[in-house]
A and B are shown apart, each in its own frame.
Chain A
Amino acid sequence: MNSWTYRQALNEALHAELKADDETFIFGLDVDDHKSIFGSTENLLKDFGANRVFGTPLSEDAMTGFAIGAAINGKKPIHVHIRADFALLSANQIINMASNIFYLSGGQLNVPLTIRCVIGRGWGQGAQHSKSLHSLFAHFPGLKVFMPSSPQDAYSLMREAVQDPNPVLVFEHRWLYDIVGDVDIKRSAVLEPKIIAEGEHLTVVGNSWMTIEALKAREVLATLGVKTEVIDVGVVSPLNLTAITSSVKKTGHCIIADHDWVDFGLASELSARVHESNFKELKQPVTRIGFKNMPCPTARELENGFYPKAQDIIAQACLMLGLTIPDLSKFRFYTYEERFKGPF
């Protein structure tokens, strides 16, 4: 067992994958520079050479196509976007090409491509450096979408993504890079939403950074006697509902806290599915929590209003369970934003 940060877990997973197969390579803007994608690609260039670890021109569209072609011809590319927003420059290649090739070729071709996307947040990242995009890409058949929220998942889902013979997008939240956790390198990836904290009164489904907020909310709710079950959606697509369905069957209450806009997103998809599968057990309608329906602002005061937080989950839970919202000033909420001093 190792105690690793999320960034170390990513780095170890990438080292392991490049070591395991000579056909694997990693490329993208900045993967080979001294800052090494916030440390996640550290030492890869030194250990595997410039043929397998390289920077690119600012040509996300062509570079994605390049990766697809290399993948078709037996390579296993890992393409890195230091912000998820930049992946939109390659939307044609991801959505029109990579997702369809296995199907259109009648299963003759497959695309073992991994696309890493870092989600930015806070410190003025603003409207073009903060998108999550997991819901968008999960909409298209033929793409897999992973969203690790712990060092263990960062390690095992990254390895799974690289080994998967299909295109996989991995969304890594920038704030998660510093969290520390146990990583067992032998543990295989859990390819479905999973219970990470048990409870009996309320189910909170989170993902990425919202899972961290959900765990914080659970702590506070516990002081009111509420036992909250927290489920983390580490694999957005293909979506498996087993854990969520059985949890809601037990609790009868469900809040979905997605790190994305609410409308037309994962929260809406999950809500629809829970209503379909658990209609009889639900004591209240499912509630969705996510970004405010506006572009992400830059000023701190505006950002604070834009992003959902543990406090929002607590307030929603109290409303749902008929409880009075406690005085939250005596609790200490997430300090990552205070610790993160930029610039990127």
Chain B
Amino acid sequence: MGTKGQGRTTSADKNSDLSQVPLEDVLESRAEEYLQLCWEIPTESEKHAVATKLYAACRRLSAAVKEKDAATAVLEIASNLMACEEMAILQMKTNSKELSFIDSVGLSERQRSSLKGSVARISAEIDRGRVYMAGENASGDEMLRSLGIQAFVPLWQNRKTKGAIVFFNLLPQRNGFEPGDRELLDLFSVYAGPCLFNA
């Protein structure tokens, strides 16, 4: 539906196109596309539910660019549209040996310590530039699973990875991720980095 790479266009490729037009305009334009999609597909369809969420996420990120509160927006979007309230936004220092917390919500001491104690491995995962979502059975995700990470979104700026959004547990009413969550994670992968780092 939206931002998936699937061997054609990667998050990095799409991210690199963002310097030509003001970011808030790009996001408003994407929101309009999702709104149009909502009109075209029946409300009973799962795609409709996903398009509705992506519309709201794009509009919220667009407003966040103007108001310079992108970190708050990212956490709020994930909380409200994914029902995840344990997450962190990390920024990688240029030497890849340090990570700082841009913002976080709901993390236990254990989760926080596990992130702080795994800087090298998380930096390597950021460098891989790949969105991870639990349940997709991709190989090479053992490290993320061992830390209890349920989803991992690398953040890009100008074709370079700069950090990540790390998601731990979903709230109890969620029985794991659904395909629509993947679309939202992919959206974050393309747009959250510029929203956070270009401000």
Tell me whether A and B are bound partners: no
